[in-house]
Amino acid sequence: RYYAAWWLGKFRVREPLAIDALIAALEDQDNQTELGGYPLRRNAARALGKLGDHRAVPALIDCLDCPDFYVREAAVQSLAMLEDRTCIPKLIKLLDGGLEAAQPIPGCPHLAQPYNAVIEALGDLGVTEAIDLIELFLEHPNELEQYAAARAMYQLTQNPTYAERLIKALSAYQVQLRRAALSDLGAIGYLPAADAIAKTWAENSLRVLALKGILEHYLESNPSDGCHLSETAIRIMNLIDGLL
């Protein structure tokens, strides 16, 4: 069942019976680890975000109260993918307590809540009323939370100062931080980052994905006449070609 849930999401099986089975799996009590985690619920939540059926929204919102951190994280990410705004009050609620509540937990590999995913979701959904809460996380001790906050703040304000923080992060010592910054810059489509992305010390595939995100954002904002591409679009394509 664990792998079946993954498979349904991976191959975008949108049959009503598959959706119903995945929604039911969000309440599964049988597949539980010794530490209290719910692996089947996690995979079901991840799959439902990929399948685009809004019938899953109420059940995914209920998952935000699940004791399993990774179920909550998967639910947040899927709700953002479904672009359903009814989840916004619950997402904002997860930021209660601000930085004081979002401190590392001794002996635990994660924070109390999936703050990174929540902040990114609020940015993707354009929740401007969360700006004050998100801005606090620019000072979080964990870089990934800082990057998520910078990404969301740029999306919500269009202030390039926040995107420039992510460009600076492309020079981070740890490769996982550089990877995160690449992903965030691609997600926000920050055009001035293109050259820095192409030169980042990270896998070519990740740099290509980030540049692809920038190109897609640019083309959406600057549609061509169908026959001619702008010099900017061609420049980004050339950067991508140089990495293939």
Model pLDDT for residues 133-142, shown as the tens digit of each residue: 999 999 999 9
Local structure of residue 32 (DSSP, 8 states): -
Predicted pLDDT at 34: 83
Average pLDDT on 173-179 reads 97
Q: What is the pLDDT of residue 224?
A: 75
| 152 pLDDT higher than 80 | yes
| H runs (alpha helix) in the chain | 2-10, 16-25, 39-51, 57-63, 69-82, 88-93, 98-101, 115-124, 131-136, 143-157, 160-169, 175-188, 194-199, 204-221, 231-241
Q: Between the ranges 1-5, 96-100, 107-111, 179-183, where is the mean pLDDT highest? A: 179-183
Contact between 103 and 64 under an 8 Å Cβ cutoff? The reply is: no
* 115 contacts 152 by C-beta, under 8 angstroms: no
Q: What percentage of residues in the chain have a pLDDT greater than 90?
A: 89
pLDDT of residue 226: 67
Check whether 55 has a pLDDT greater than 80.
yes
Task: Judge contact between 48 and 9, C-beta under 8 A.
Answer: yes
The full set of domains in the chain, from first to last, is: 1-83 (1.25.10.10)
Three-class secondary structure of residue 155 per DSSP: helix
Give tens-digit pLDDT for 63-93: 999 999 999 999 999 999 999 999 999 999 9
Closest CA to 22 of 35, 10, 36: 10
Task: Give how far Cα 87 sits from Cα of 77, 83, 113, 159, Å.
Answer: 11, 9, 16, 26
Average pLDDT, integer, range 16-40: 93
What's the rounded Cα separation, in Å, for the pair 61 and 79? 8
Rounded distance between C-alpha atoms, residue 207 and residue 191, angstroms: 14
DSSP 87: G
